[in-house]
Amino acid sequence: MSRTYLNLKGGFAVKHGYRSLLTKQSIVMVLFSVSCIAAGDQARAADYSFGDGTGKNEACIACHGNQTKVISQNYIDPKKFGHTTHAKFGCTTCHDTITSDHPAVKPGARTTSCGDCHGDTVSQYSASIHAKNAPCSGCHNPHRVNSSREIAATEMNKQCAACHSNIKITASHAKWLPQTELHLGAIACVTCHSKAENYVISIYIAKRESTGPDTKPTLLTYEELLKYSNGDNLQYLIDKNRDNYISLDELRKFNRDPSNKNIYLKAMMTPVKPTHSFQTFDNRWDCTFCHGSGPEIMQTSFLSFPEQNGTFRQVAIEKGASMDALRAIPNFYLMGSTRNGVLNGIGLLIIAGGMVMPVGHGFLRFLTRKNRK
């Protein structure tokens, strides 16, 4: 089998008889030619001020933010990178061995590491069994990381699913966890598999799909939601009075609106601050860790709207009444914790009604016992 690969811009062809040769050698050649093109098309890197103030990222992004100029591994999405905290520090803070000869001269190995800034996280992570199997970059791409508040719980779970197959996860949880699919669909993995202590209910706008279980909800993207808001700020889809605050009434109205019949509010339990000690903590085997936590812990909920850059933005939902917020979302219910005080009162009254005969009648019966001798 013989194929010819032609690099149009480089103007030379590589011919190989074997696929194995193709993969190794041609990639080297392509890499080489790409760097030649970059060097030829762009002004030399020396023209840019690496490492001194503003504009330093732009110099890098000029090539690395353009898919036609660098290979895919070296491509940085400018929008996503620009949003990260890392961007504020500048490319050369981490890529410290870059010289002004770049790209003609390849940078040597970096002397920096994630632990330089994230020391606590790295030491916490190193102690977990995950550290053996995945470096930081196994889950986090430093050029597009977002804070945990900015990513949807479904995105968090996708990180885990990159190694842990959904089928195996469902099977292993099903050994002990009742309603496995329901649980896995409504909880971010790190809610249990991290030392996080506090939780919030995050609500997303998801597609209503008639097929398949709810374990992998599909959230609507920014572009898809724009159609519903007619180009307006997505938040106003629900926050009708535009006060940056979602009332229960607004939630209910959104649910009842017939034009929203193909979308629904998907509530998930997410940790406020996930930690990197990924393991199963003993208290998580105990259902009452969540179900017995009482309504008090469930008071905070947010609606997460997708942003143009792929992140999510949280808008607060009426506080102190997350139970009622969930009541406005008909498909989320956390037994034991989302119970309603008024309903409990009514239930107690009904049961007390059942005691009227034994107590009231029984008392009169006792007083009049002589009449029945």
Partner 1 sequence: MSSKMVYLQPIAVRIWHWLNALGIVTLCISGAQIRFPEYVTILGSYRSAIMLHNTAGIVVALSFSIWFFYYKIVANTLDDIYIPKGSDLTTGLFRQVVFYFFSYFFGAPNPHHATPENKFNPLQKSAYLAIMFVLMPFVSLTGILLMNMGPMREIVMLVGGLTLLDTIHFLTACSLCAFIFTHVYLATLGSTPMAYIKPMWTGWEKVENHHDAENSLVDRSQAEHSH
Of 55, 119, 135, 362, the one binding partner 1 by CB under 8 A: 362
Of 89, 213, 272, 320, the one binding partner 1 by CB under 8 A: 213
Residues sharing a CB contact under 8 Å with residue 320, sequence separation 6 or more, in sequence order: 299
Query: Applying CB under 8 A, does 210 fall inside the site for partner 1?
Result: yes
Smallest separation (angstroms) from partner 1 to the CB of 343: 6
Smallest separation (angstroms) from partner 1 to the CB of 213: 6
Point out which span in 13-21, 23-31, 299-307, 325-333 binds partner 1 (CB under 8 A): 325-333
* Other CB atoms within 10 A of residue 284 CB: 14
| Nearest residue to 115 via CA among 145, 95, 136, 142 | 136
Point out which span in 85-93, 109-117, 280-288, 304-312 binds partner 1 (CB under 8 A): 280-288
Query: Applying CB under 8 A, does 127 fall inside the site for partner 1?
Result: no
Query: Applying CB under 8 A, does 204 fall inside the site for partner 1?
Result: no
Percentages helix, strand, coil for the chain (3-state, rounded to 5) are: 45, 10, 40
Contact status, residue 219 vs residue 266, Cβ threshold 8 Å: yes
Query: Applying CB under 8 A, does 207 fall inside the site for partner 1?
Result: no
Contact status, residue 206 vs residue 218, Cβ threshold 8 Å: yes
Q: Cα(355)–Cα(201) distance, rounded to whole angstroms?
A: 39
| Nearest residue to 84 via CA among 273, 278, 310, 319 | 310
Of 19, 132, 256, 372, the one binding partner 1 by CB under 8 A: 372
**Site size for partner 1 (CB under 8 A):** 48
Point out which span in 50-58, 74-82, 218-226, 324-332 binds partner 1 (CB under 8 A): 324-332
| Nearest residue to 166 via CA among 190, 184, 143, 148 | 184
Query: Applying CB under 8 A, does 354 fall inside the site for partner 1?
Result: yes
Q: Cα(63)–Cα(36) distance, rounded to whole angstroms?
A: 12
What is the phi/psi pair of residue 12, to 5°?
-135, 155
Helix (H) or strand (E) holding 247: none
Query: Applying CB under 8 A, does 171 fall inside the site for partner 1?
Result: no
Query: Applying CB under 8 A, does 284 fall inside the site for partner 1?
Result: no
Of 21, 27, 43, 357, the one binding partner 1 by CB under 8 A: 357
State whether the Cα torsion 12-18-22-24 is positive or negative: negative
Residues sharing a CB contact under 8 Å with residue 185, sequence separation 6 or more, in sequence order: 213, 214, 215, 216, 217, 268
Query: Applying CB under 8 A, does 242 fall inside the site for partner 1?
Result: no
Of 165, 292, 308, 320, the one binding partner 1 by CB under 8 A: 292
Of 172, 179, 221, 308, the one binding partner 1 by CB under 8 A: 179
Query: Applying CB under 8 A, does 291 fall inside the site for partner 1?
Result: yes
Q: Is the peptide bond before 274 cis (omega within 30 degrees of 0)?
A: no
- Considering only residues 61 through 80, tell me which ones interact with partner 1, judged by CB under 8 A: none
Smallest separation (angstroms) from partner 1 to the CB of 178: 5
For residue 171, give Cα distances in angstroms to 130, 186, 284: 20, 17, 18
* Contacts to partner 1 by CB under 8 A: 176, 178-179, 181-182, 210, 213-214, 286-288, 291-292, 294, 326-327, 329-333, 335-336, 338-340, 343-344, 346-348, 350-358, 361-362, 364-365, 368, 371-373
